[in-house]
Structures are given as structure tokens and as C-alpha cells.
Amino acid sequence: MQTPLLELLRCPFCRAPLADADSGLACGRCDRRFAVEDGIPRMLHPDLPGAAAKLAEAAGWVEKARRERWYEPDDALDAVLPFVNEELGWDDLNWASSSYSIRVLLDEVVGARTGLRVLELGAAKAWASRFWLARGCEYVAADILADPNIGLGRGAFYGDFARVQADGEHLPFAEESFDVVYCVATLHHALDLVRMVREMARVARPGAVVAGLNEGTRGVLRSPENPDQEAEKALRINEHVHTVWAYAAAFARAGLAIRRLERADGAPPRPFGRLLSKLPRVGPALGTLAHLSVYPYTGVSLYAERR
């Protein structure tokens, strides 16, 4: 059974409950109003800190998709995301990493549990909805990008579930609401990484799974200006690249105990970190920390438990 979205939603400014008002939502405490368009509450209010940069990023994604000619919906593609390599014969490293990581989250970290309430941050089209709905979970997709073709609007292709235009640094949800809170390739877009992870932890229940999948990393001596991100930055997409230590520290500061840490594509930590990875129990995480500290640019996935 789907919990009415209004029960979960809170004002992103003052965290008070919201009420229906004039075909939108209203906060009874600070009096702010939020539109609801195409069934999607628009909680990325222009007064929120950083909202201008986030709205500019949303426009940047549309511009990028148009320029690169993937703006028009493609049912055959969207039906198989993220498994485009396996299903369509692509050879795409980024999708390979997201595919591997979502499989780990679903099959190994969440496992046989069903009926969970799940929040995906930075969900875009919400391609993962089909996996959660098939497991009898309640699924809520959130993103700053509400576009009908490449953002939350496209989620209707996958079924009927809650979609909310929201900033991950100011989540419009009540504390301790979700059993799983995760994102794919989204933390590195935060203007404030620590704040985004803290928000994910806040809306997660004690014992919940909180995960960041396929987030870009740089070796500790590498420049934070990754040349591969220049084109997106020119479109005002908020690209950053962090060390694995910055992600791990953000999780620790948010009260999240990291249970599994590995390269986003699942490749073993070689050559750096190979010996460390052989230690019992803590080896794989330590090996990955050593590996990603030295490896120039790649991706990490972190799976944690909210304390």
C-alpha cells in the first residue's frame, strides 16, 4: 500500500507538515506555497539556498540531452535501463558501473526484504522504480530535474509512484521516513556534499540502508578539476569529483556506518590495494580505500546503515 505522499512531505524550509491549497501545497508555519504540476510537487523553491544553481543545472541537462540527441524518449532504451550493455550490446563503462552497483544494492544489500519504503535521490527518469515496485516496495523518486523526457516526468513510463522535484540538500521529507535512501551518480552534484549525505541520513530510519552508488572519485593527489567534466560544467551542470575519503567522511559525519565500499564497477582493487584487500572482513573496504586513493579518476559505491 502506497502511503499518501502528503504524509511524508514536509516544508523544505521549516519542516512543518503541508496541506493542499489552490491546486498546490502550502506550509502552515512559514506560509510558503509549492506548485504541483503534472502530479509532481515542485519543492525546489527559488528561495532555497543554491536554488538558482540547481535550476540552472536542470536546464543544463536538457540542453546537453538536446545537443547530444538523447532528449527524445526511447521506449526500447528506457525499458532496459541501466542494463544497456547486456540488453542492447552497448559498451558503456558508466552504465556498467551503475548496473553492477544497483544489482549489489538490490540483491546483496537489501536482499530478500520486501515492502520497504524507498527514496531515490537524483532519480532522473526513475528507471530503478521497476525493480522496487516488483519487490512490493513503496518507491519515491526525487530530483531537481522534472523534465517530461529526461527527468521525473518520464517516470510515468515506468508506472504509478510518487515523484517529487526536490533538492537533496534540503529534502522535503519527514525524519526517519524511509527504509532505503540511495542515489546513483548524484552526490557529486551536491554544492555541499556533507549536507546532502546528512539529509539522506535524516530521512532514513534507524537501521535503514543509505547508499551512494557510482560516485566519481579522484586520487588524493589529483586535481579536483577533472578534464572529463568540463563540457558539463560549461552547461552549468554542478560537477565535482571527490576523494573516496571525502565520501567516507561525509557518511561518518552523518551517523552512517559503512558496511560495504568498493569500486563502482566491482573491479577488484588492483594493483594498489591488492594485498590489503586480502585481510579478513575489513580487507575489501581497506583495499578499496588504498586503491582509490591512488587511482586517477574512477567511481565508488558506498553502502551504509543508519545508526
Which residues would be at the binding site for ligand SAM (CB under 6 A)?
54, 57-58, 61, 98, 121-124, 143-145, 167-169, 184-186, 189-190
- Find the shortest distance in angstroms from Cβ 211 to ligand SAM: 12
Contact indicator for 177, 205 with CB cutoff of 8 Å: yes
Q: Taking the complex as a whole, how short is the minimal distance between the CB of residue 290 and ligand SAM, in angstroms?
A: 27
Q: Which does 61 bind (CB under 5 to 8 A by kind): Zn ion, ligand SAM, none?
A: ligand SAM
Give the nearest distance from C-beta 277 to ligand SAM in angstroms.
27
Quickly list H helices, 51-182. Answer: 51-67, 75-78, 84-88, 93-103, 129-134
- 54's contact among ligand SAM, Zn ion, none, with CB below 5 to 8 A by partner kind, is ligand SAM
Q: Which sign does the torsion angle of CA 80, 86, 90, 93 carry? A: positive
Nearer to ligand SAM, 143 or 179 (CB): 143
Which of 237, 217, 235, 213 has the alpha carbon at shortest distance from 226? Answer: 217
Between 11 and 211, name the residue whose CB sits nearer to Zn ion: 11
Whether the CB-CB separation of 295 and 205 falls below 8 Å is answered with no
Segment 25 to 64, residues that bind Zn ion, using CB under 5 A = 27, 29-30
Report what 11 binds from ligand SAM, Zn ion, none; CB cut-off 5-8 Å by kind: Zn ion
Residue 153 phi/psi, 5° resolution? -55, -35
Closest residue (Cβ) to ligand SAM?
122
CB of 307 to ligand SAM, least distance (A): 24
Does residue 14 bind Zn ion (CB under 5 A)? Answer: yes
- The binder of 83, among Zn ion, ligand SAM, none, by C-beta within 5 to 8 A per type, is none
What does the per-residue mask of binding to Zn ion show for 76-115, with x meaning CB under 5 A?
Answer: ----------------------------------------
Long-range contacts of 139-144 (CB under 8 A, 24+ apart): 140/5, 140/8, 140/164, 140/173, 140/178, 142/166, 142/168, 142/171, 144/44, 144/54, 144/55, 144/57, 144/58
Cα-trace Rg, the chain: 19
The answer to whether 145 and 154 have CB atoms below 8 angstroms apart is no
Q: Is 11 in the site for Zn ion (CB under 5 A)?
A: yes
Going across the sheet that includes 33-37, the strands are 18-21, 24-27, 33-37, 40-41
- The residues that touch Zn ion, with contacts defined as CB under 5 A, are 11, 13-14, 16, 27, 29-30
